[in-house]
Amino acid sequence: MDQVKQVIIAGAGIGGLTAALALAQGGRQVVVCEQATQLGEVGAGLQISPNASKVLRALGLQGRLQALAFEPQYASIRDYRSGEYYLRAPLGKAAEFRYRAPYWHLHRADLHAVLAEACQSAGVSIRLNSPVMSYQQEADKVVLQLANGETLTGDVLIGADGIRSKIREHLLGPEQPTFMGQVAWRGVIPVDDLAVAIKPEACVWAGPGKHLVTYYVSGGKQVNFVAVEEKAVWRSESWREEGDISHLRHAFADWHPQVTGLLDAAKSSFIWSLNARAELSKWHDNRVGLLGDACHPMLPFMAQGAAMAIEDAYVLAKQLGEHDVPTALMNYEAIRKPRTTKIQQMSAANAGLYHMHGGVLGKAKLKAMQLATAVAPKIIQSKLDFVYGHDVTS
């Protein structure tokens, strides 16, 4: 077998660093090229469901992450005005028992810092200020070109460079991601600044054309919010910019007092345009493969984008440990694509549910979910089992 020795990864996001760690632990030499001049992540939360926490545990990070995490007691969907529960599914110990791994809420910067530290201890070389541009394949190696003119040679190149991936562009040609007609406001608020009590839940407040998610991060010291609003167009050139907090408060002004009280305490927020891509025709070519948002960006309405990147990373590292590079990349895509495509579709479908699309009909769908939770909980459970019960480490 053509033994993989040198791996180059484009992008030091959560997907790229998880892949780097898994590969370095398997004895590979790993170089990660990151365009940013400093390592870090945005000030926002991340839900890490059991399917992803299983991977992080297999990589030896459970102790460090558990200390930084918050474990929500329920996953809930509530009415934007009345606060009525349409769904209240147990998480916490119940989820840990069912899926044999914890459900964590983490600050993104905490997860990123733990991954970066573990990578450095495992001997991964992380090169900052190193934007990647393109690559060339030779018979038994791949040569990566950086924007500064330098080149790096490896046995395999992994494009973990996010939704606007240069590696994807080189592999499949230029194509902008599709704006999904929604923007997301994200922020974190210290608990001490809050005048309203927020429940220890992963809570979606669902309302016409909008929804808002709340959950605790930083071991319960801060509350993270994600507010999503439908917008016909996104005029800004940037896909992330500082938001006007008064606009955000105005957009949710007639919502439940827990929502308005929370937004009253918010001091700042960033806005993201929400983009996605249709299923790609392929994720790999000979010695080059894609991972995470580079190949399957999705709406965040299942909180699974980073979780899928983490699962990808583990499967890819395992395949590269067992097969020659082209076979490993082919197997990796065959294993991962059906699952990530299904979760992309499930995430998109949740937009209609959370935003009560169809007016009265939209509300009726939430009521039907409420009824199903009471009389046939297995229907709801089977959807969650498909996502959270998956174990790429087994």
Nearer to ligand FAD, 11 or 243 (CB): 11
Could you tell me if 34 and 11 are in contact, meaning their C-beta atoms sit under 8 angstroms apart?
yes
> Closest separation between CB of residue 137 and ligand FAD, Å?
18
- Shortest Å, Cβ 316 to ligand FAD: 12
Q: For ligand FAD, give the closer residue by CB, 10 or 223.
A: 10
Binding footprint of ligand FAD on the chain (CB under 6 A)? 10-16, 33-36, 46-47, 131-132, 160-162, 166, 184, 186, 226, 272, 292-294, 300, 303-307, 309
215 catalytically annotated: yes
Inter-residue long-range contacts of 245-250, CB under 8 Å, 24+ positions, other chains counted: 245/269, 248/185
Q: How far is the CB of 112 from ligand FAD (least distance, A)?
A: 9
Q: Which of 80, 86, 135, 215 is catalytic?
A: 215
Shortest distance in whole angstroms from residue 14 CB to ligand FAD: 5
**Residue closer to ligand FAD, measured from CB, 152 or 366:** 152
Cβ closer to ligand FAD: 360 or 384?
384
From the CB of 225, what's the least distance to ligand FAD, in Å?
10
Would you please indicate which residues are annotated as catalytic (active-site) residues? 215
